[in-house]
Structure 1
Amino acid sequence: MSDTTLKPHQKELWGHPVGLYILFFTEMWERFSYYGMRALLTLYLVQKTTDKNPGLGWLDQESIMLYGWYTMLVYVMSIPGGMIADKILGQKKAVLYGALTLVAGHGILAFDEMWAFYTGLILIILGVGLLKPNISTMVGGLYKQGDIRRDKGFSIFYIGINLGSFLATFIVGYVGEKIGWHYGFGLAGIAMLLGLAVYLYGQKYLINVGNKPTLEDKKNDVSIGKLLTDLLKSPVHLGIVGLIVIYAFYAGFTYSGVDNWGYTALYIFIGLVAGIMMMIYKNLDTQVMKDRYMVLLLSFIIVIVFWGAFEQAGGLMSIYTKNNTDRMLFGWEIPATWFQSLNAGFIILLATSVAGYWAKRKLKGKEGSSLFKMAIGVIIMGLGFVFMIFAASEFNSKGSSGMQWLVLAYLFHTVGELCASPVALSFITKLAPVKYASLMMGVYFAATGLGNKVAGVLGEKASEFGEYTIFAGITIFTVIFGLLVIALLKPLKRLTHGAEDNERIMHDDEAEGFELADN
């Protein structure tokens, strides 16, 4: 069949569905807006109110605390976002409404008022919660089961994420730091409008994915309400959740921090999610599905560990860059936000090479399972903090540290991320029960959010223990954790029951396209 006789959603470009590139550019502009705002957030919070470009004048610890809560909630809201898509809207409309909410949120942040600041943050949290899990689910839906191009498709999609991040940290970062924080926030909103325009234009290429659930889908699906009802009928599982809730209230009364009741709400939320996860396991039909589900839950733990270390970039490492790093180059001081672009820049340069390496390795029969890649990613990322240890040591002895340590740290973090993060996204679409696909993607992003909160907690501790101790502790823990996953790899792979063993090129013409994309 020639390309001219194909319907728009059947057409391919460079070996992948055209819909992938629509989602690529939609996500690129969404990430431009998000990472542009993220690059400015902690620096805006700590900037003194008396400076030429005044900020809010918060303490480092307070700023990192808000950063941790904000970035956690951005991803935790993916759970209700996934549920709304599964039950009501479908992924396609959920992405649309999420994009509209993000435009409103970033636009409100352009106003220099505290009400606008908090309102904008809330709208961004809600918008990302609708958009983020569902656009990723749509990427997975573009490929048939067993299509080896799926991992490569997610890696291409990942380039879009990081192209947006790369451009944002340069452009929005410079505008915010040098011209005005709220001009930077407003510029992020304009970028989100571009993403919305691309998405609306490309609807004809997405006809076959993300559609509103049919009556049959709803009939065969199990609602969250029913899962919670089943939980109330299960004394053992209800008891586990009850213990978590009791501890949550205990923490609220005894924790001395200003965000004590925030932790109470977090623990209650974790308890309810744990209960829902237990009920899903109980309701799965076969042992194969249950075994795969357990491996999927383990992958969420890997995700929490990974992002708990990696997300120091937007918090502790961002403030460290501004306060402790010698940023002078040929007599000009490099903006602190620009260093966050290193991660995105390295991803753009290395993403297809890393994905191609793993794909060729697997085709040759060598170990290339998703769990192995994720474990290697955690180890490599953790080793990146060795360079931050060197930086902290140099600062302690000389009063400032060289930029080269940040460059090397971000390089290792990026390689680790490329091994772990896009693979984790793809892994979920392989193992998740079909009727819980969006919910599981939401739980993945919630795990990412919990990792962000862990990162915030660790960053807060730097004021107590010092950066050197925090960076050293992260290095040791992540390497040991990654090695432990590798040690357990064989029994874990058995529990997947060959979910990745049958991946293959679907057709000869697709194989040609895959090789083209790889080059």
Structure 2
Amino acid sequence: LGASGFGPLAHSDLGMSVFVAGLAIIVLGTGHFKPSVSVMVGQLYKQGDPRRDGAFTIFYMGINLGAFLCAFVCGTLGEKVGWHWGFGAAAVGMIAGLVLYTILRPKYLADIGLPPDGRGASAPLFVVASLILGALCGLAYHYGFLNAFAGLLSPLVVAVLAAVILGLVVWFVWIQRPEDRGPTASIFLFMAFNVFFWMAFEQAGSSINVFTEQNTNRTLFGWEIPATWFQSVNAGLIFTLAPLFAGLWTRLGKHGLDPSQPMKIALGLISLGVGYLFMVWAGMSVKDGAKASMALIFLTYFWHTVGELCLSPTGLSYVTKVAPKRFVSLLMGVWLVSSFVANLAGGLIAAKVEAVERGEIKLPWNFGGQADYFFLFVVTSIGVGVAVALATPLLKTLIQGRDKNDAPTTGH
């Protein structure tokens, strides 16, 4: 589905409606792929295996290696040759991945990821239905239905939808077996913390990126580094640091010292806030035509990456540990929804950065310029992180010990 979606994007000269259809198909393909592959990684290890969090960190490293290379391959082709070639390269990469999976799966995965007996026949129907739904999205855009729908999303409608979703969450937790209710509820609670993290983290693609382009000295040995290249710093750091974190979680788990998931979330949020202190420093240094040092941008990305490695791969691992077996894939998909909510909220907040800089939006502190805006994420990230750390004993009662990595069992 991903490769099928990039096809229309590569031929976007056919019109915006075809482009939207391609985007919709990519979204549907991602929805099929990301929860399923994360669950498959979890199935490689038995319950209590201390290697699980380390394995998810290595898995996360692979994801970010792709993100690191993407900026150079697809981005360079798009900017220098044409976006038809950039999107086409993405499609080729997905097809190559599918071929490798098909060839190597029987040798390395055995029955992991296979549907229960008699249920695999529905897979082609999902593909066909997704292609049809993507085409319908393109038609809806062409005839103006998508714009009309967006116009209906008033604050009242959003509030009603939020109330309905909250009711469904409570109902879903209640229908679980008594021993599963606490761990299931913890997944939804940790999703809220996940939203706080990614809402601040994803400023990298908006406010931090704009600051890097406009207010940062990017000259190195007489050559100006393109601002878009800084988008690969996080992925490069993950590729570098992930093996260290994988070894750390595994080693701590073998000795019964692995931090609980709430504590890892707290560490992730606090590290994120520490990173934003360097953005505050950068914002304060932009005065009278002076620009900030790009070293501050690198330090920001370093601490953000540390926070990400504490929270994100271990969060994926956590869902596979505590979710009821019949709902693992569903809850993994729900967990990933928190990233959507965070990106939406982060984008809405980023739209206010200029208003904060001009003083139109008043904040309780006054560092000047965009430093005020970035300090908002210092306060929220560290504040929520400390709150989670203090609440860890209470949160651990919900988990009921299911997140422990203290049994040195052997995986498949």
TM bin, normalised by shorter chain, reads: 0.7 to 0.9
Could you tell me which runs of 5 or more consecutive residues in structure 1 were left unpaired when the two chains were aligned.
1-100, 218-257, 514-519
Deviation at 1:399, TM superposition (A): 4.7
Q: Distance in 2 between matches of 1:469 and 1:500?
A: 38
Post-superposition Cα deviations, 1:320-365, rounded to whole Å, max 9, x if no partner, equal: 2223322222222222221111101111111121232233334444
Q: Distance in 1 between matches of 2:77 and 2:159?
A: 38
User: Any idea what SS the aligned residue of 1:210 has?
Assistant: coil
Q: Distance in 2 between matches of 1:327 and 1:263?
A: 42
Post-superposition Cα deviations, 1:207-258, rounded to whole Å, max 9, x if no partner, equal: 42222245799xxxxxxxxxxxxxxxxxxxxxxxxxxxxxxxxxxxxxxxx9
Alignment of 1:314-463 (within 5 A): 314-366=205-257, 368-463=259-354
The percentage of counterpart residues that share the same residue type is 38
Code of the residue aligned with 1:102 in structure 2: it is G
User: Any idea what SS the aligned residue of 2:217 has?
Assistant: coil
Q: Is the 8 A contact 2:2 2:29 kept in 1?
A: yes
Corresponding position of 2:170: 278
Q: Is the 8 A contact 2:2 2:30 kept in 1?
A: yes
Match of 2:191 among 274, 283, 300: 300
User: Any idea what SS the aligned residue of 2:93 has?
Assistant: helix
Deviation at 1:368, TM superposition (A): 1.0
Q: Is the 8 A contact 1:173 1:338 kept in 2?
A: no
Q: Distance in 2 between matches of 1:346 and 1:304?
A: 22
Q: Distance in 2 between matches of 1:216 and 1:172?
A: 37
User: Any idea what SS the aligned residue of 2:351 has?
Assistant: helix
Q: Is the 8 A contact 1:165 1:344 kept in 2?
A: yes
Match of 2:8 among 104, 108, 125: 108
1:482 aligns with 2:385: yes
Q: Distance in 2 between matches of 1:498 and 1:295?
A: 12
TM-score (norm 1): 0.66
Corresponding position of 1:162: 64
Deviation at 1:475, TM superposition (A): 0.9
Code of the residue aligned with 2:113 in structure 1: it is G
Alignment of 1:167-206 (within 5 A): 167-204=69-106, 205-206=108-109
Could you tell me which runs of 5 or more consecutive residues in structure 2 were left unpaired when the two chains were aligned.
121-148, 358-369
Deviation at 1:304, TM superposition (A): 0.6
Deviation at 1:267, TM superposition (A): 5.2
Q: Distance in 2 between matches of 1:270 and 1:215?
A: 37
Assess, with a 3 A threshold, how the Cα gap between structure 1 residues 117 and 429 changes in structure 2: closer, same or farther.
same
Q: Distance in 2 between matches of 1:213 and 1:461?
A: 49
Code of the residue aligned with 1:357 in structure 2: it is L
| Aligned pairs, number | 369
Deviation at 1:502, TM superposition (A): 6.0
Q: Is the 8 A contact 2:202 2:346 kept in 1?
A: yes
Assess, with a 3 A threshold, how the Cα gap between structure 1 residues 267 and 172 changes in structure 2: closer, same or farther.
farther
Q: Distance in 2 between matches of 1:289 and 1:358?
A: 25
Deviation at 1:187, TM superposition (A): 2.1
Corresponding position of 1:120: 22
Corresponding position of 1:506: 409
Assess, with a 3 A threshold, how the Cα gap between structure 1 residues 438 and 359 changes in structure 2: closer, same or farther.
same
Code of the residue aligned with 1:130 in structure 2: it is H
Q: Distance in 2 between matches of 1:302 and 1:308?
A: 10
Deviation at 1:271, TM superposition (A): 4.1
Q: Is the 8 A contact 1:174 1:335 kept in 2?
A: no
1:491 aligns with 2:394: yes
Match of 2:371 among 464, 468, 472: 468
Q: Distance in 2 between matches of 1:368 and 1:362?
A: 8
Corresponding position of 2:140: none
Q: Distance in 1 between matches of 2:152 and 2:296?
A: 38
TM-score (norm 2): 0.82
Q: Is the 8 A contact 2:274 2:303 kept in 1?
A: yes
Q: Is the 8 A contact 1:170 1:337 kept in 2?
A: no
Assess, with a 3 A threshold, how the Cα gap between structure 1 residues 446 and 506 changes in structure 2: closer, same or farther.
same
Post-superposition Cα deviations, 1:87-141, rounded to whole Å, max 9, x if no partner, equal: xxxxxxxxxxxxxx21122222223443343233222212211111111111111
